Amino acid sequence: MHYPFEVEKLPYAYTALEPFLSCEILRFHHDKHYVAYVNKLNEILKNYPNLQNMSLEELLTDTEALPNEAKTSIRNNAGGVYNHELYFTCMNCSDSELPTDHLAAAINVAFGSIDQFKAELSGAAVNQFGSGYAWLILSNKSLEIIATPNQDTPISATVTPLLCIDVWEHAYYLQYQNRRADYVDNWFHLINWDFVGARYMSLMKEPV
């Protein structure tokens, strides 16, 4: 996928994540905030034909290819597109609230237990100062939890995000106001573990 980037539709209805995330939040988040990043990225790239065959991942990792005068705006908006698409895909409305077998085993090795994993990811999300994301990443075949500010994206040759939670206020404020911790607690009911588990298994098969 490259320029012109297209808006990805939500993989579920606007009401599908209720009561944990309201229809109003999801509609504003996807149709206004996410769409704005897609449009802005395309607007920037239309002036740089040499960048128009680059994927989102390449725009975020091959920074040497980006012109200095547009580097920050490209990274910010490409990050906004990548991060939102992963965030939306990482959620669903199923009743499964536990990771799949292989991923569950890896989480137990990395964090000691599923409960400890949830505590650490929750802490990273709640304590992220200002806007940003908390992530479960695969780094050199090992699981780690990190947080990033704004639309920074932890992707590189050896690091791939598996899932993320958006803690920008627009992700939760209409429903939770300033209660970020409540939003984070409820978000754990929405993790699409089938997607995350399949992503993990696919990455583990790739050579280091």
pLDDT band at 97 (very low <50, low <70, confident <90, very high): confident
Tens digits of residue pLDDT in 155-174: 998 899 999 999 999 999 99
Q: Please, are residues 193 and 104 in contact by the beta-carbon 8 Å criterion?
A: no
The dihedral formed by the CA atoms of 116, 119, 122 and 124, expressed in degrees to the nearest 10: -80
Tens digits of residue pLDDT in 131-143: 999 999 999 999 9
Residue 93 confidence (pLDDT) above 70: yes
Give the residues across from 147 on adjacent strands.
134
The count of other CB atoms within 10 Å of the CB of residue 162 is: 19
Considering the chain, what percentage of its residues have pLDDT values greater than 70?
99
- pLDDT score, position 208: 60
Tokens, residue 91: 């959620």
Eight-class DSSP state of 153:
-
pTM of the predicted protein model: 0.96
The residues near 72 (Cβ < 8 Å, ≥ 6 apart) are none
Residue 148 confidence (pLDDT) above 80: yes
**Domains, the chain, ranges and CATH?**
23-89 (1.10.287.990), 101-204 (3.55.40.20)
Cα–Cα distance for residue pair 98/100, rounded to 1 Å: 7
